[in-house]
Amino acid sequence: MRVIIVGGVAGGASAAARIRRLDERAEIVIYERSGYISYANCGLPYYIGGIIEDRDDLTVQTPEGFRKRFQIDARPHHEVTDVDAQNKTVTVRDLLSGKSFTDHYDKLLLSPGAKPVLPDYPWITQKNVFTLRTVEDTLRIRAYAEERHVKRAVIVGGGFIGLETAENLMAKGISVTILQRGDQLLPMLDRDMASFIHAKLRAKGAAVVLGADAATHACIGEADMIVVAVGVTPETTLARAIGLRTGKKGAISVNDRMETSHPDIYAVGDAVEIRHRVTGEILPIALAGPANKQGRIAADNICGRESHYAGSLSSSVIKLFDMTAAATGINEKTAKRLGLSYERVVLSPASHAGYYPGARVMTMKVLYEKSTERLLGAQIVGTDGVDKRIDVLATAIFAGLPATALKDLDLAYAPPYSSAKDPVNMAGFIIDNIESGLVAQFHHDELPHIRTLENTCLLDTRTPTEYARGHADGFINIPLDELRNRLHELDPSKRIYIMCQSGLRSYLSARILSENGFDCCHFSGGYRFYESVLLDREAAATAHPCGAEK
């Protein structure tokens, strides 16, 4: 059996190695048009900032390594330009010599990946404009920054690549402005959770400009370097030429065996559309984890083993300075778009036991379906322990656990790593309290409407010192520890909306009031969460077009 793989990196390279493990006699050829067969795509921004010092560390496997260990013929600088599916041949162009030749296959695997979106901006062809997708791209960006002594850079786009590049350019002492067309960075998060990301970047000195039209933005002309990172689109030029069936964004349609619409042609990675496990939607998901799994599954089926792709949760994580942001499943924006009836809980647990030094607060947001308690998604922003908790939540969603079952998970505990009630357990306790009717809650986006209602009381149960440092408009202050003795100050005919710093004291206050006959509900996330959202809106409203404050 002769297998030709078009494209290496994650999907193609993992498929090639798996095929060899399953079939010692197979002839395996990888044609990769870049100069690198298998490289750490997600590590590219960190070479720019010098965190990864040696460019060779970006290479996961070399052509020589493939030949020596796996007897795989891996050829960089080779582009497959045509496929004759009828006769099972490919036309290949050697990009170094310019010569073309024909090769034949029994099985063909396409792993062409995705290409950066290049909007039709008037300045897009300038020599100081870059995209970041390949090793060659990251080498060019770092060389340009160092050789030209770049002082000011503009990042167009606020996704993973844009923000990681921004951080790493800032590590080189370069002033960075981030232009984002939408109203937030990191679209995997909801706007309220993204407020912490905006604040971190601004605190580190980056200018964050939301709602920006990069095509005509004033600071473009002032930049020494521009990195365009507005997203990627599936690279399906070859697939369309073959006549393969395609779907959303032109991505290659495959079944769960990674088979395309043509016999003996498989496809994997960023170029294909796959099933989202929460929504059931078929769409492209450009992440390394799914690509690697798909490569393995395609290899299994090529070699006669029955293997099926289970779908993706779009689980992702990003490091920004000392902060980590992670998400799995879907966010509120998607839940609303799909018309799902959902509930959300927001909490601010510590990364580990509070009495052990170094505990840091994280903010967690968990979504679930009201009628079924089906977990829909989660978002976490913090420092230590974020990645651990998002993986637990992703596993719970994948396994189909109901949201209330989070309280029952038996998770490892020692003071340096967690609390006896892990943050994931705490999310489950809160959801169980809500679903059992023990407490009601309200959210920051409901406050404007609540303030217009009659027969209501807004109550802040933090300490007077905390209240004096800042509080939401209209809230009176009765500290939790004084509440039982001051119940006479509250009107039992009014519904009481309670806020504290993180949500714990407001919950305890709600239980006291409920047991004494009051109608009440508590604020999800606490004043800490409310303040982050409020300050972010104010910062966005007062930002200068090129980032400086008015």
The residues near 182 (Cβ < 8 Å, ≥ 6 apart) are 158, 210, 211
H/E element holding 496? strand 495-499
Please state whether 475 falls in left (phi above 0), alpha (psi between -120 and 50) or beta: beta
SS3 (DSSP) at 531: helix
| Cα–Cα separations (whole angstroms), residue 275 to 313, 330, 453 | 9, 13, 43
Find the radius of gyration of the CA atoms of the chain.
26
DSSP structure class, residue 404: G
* CA–CA gap between residue 511 and residue 3 (Å, rounded): 66
DSSP structure class, residue 489: G
Q: SS in 3 state form for 117-172?
A: CCCCCCCCCCCCEECCCCHHHHHHHHHHHHHCCCCEEEEECCCHHHHHHHHHHHHC
Residues 172 and 49 sit within 8 Å (Cβ to Cβ): yes
* The two three-digit tokens of residue 188, written as one number: 């995997």
Residues 299 and 19 sit within 8 Å (Cβ to Cβ): yes
Provide the 10 A C-beta neighbour count for residue 148: 11
* CA–CA gap between residue 471 and residue 449 (Å, rounded): 18
Active-site pick, 42, 520, 521, 546:
42
List the Cα angle 41/272/121 in 5-degree steps. Answer: 65
* CA–CA gap between residue 366 and residue 466 (Å, rounded): 27
Residues 147 and 50 sit within 8 Å (Cβ to Cβ): no
- Is residue 219 part of the annotated active site? The answer reads no
| Residue 156 bridge partners (DSSP) | 179, 228
- The catalytic residue positions are 42
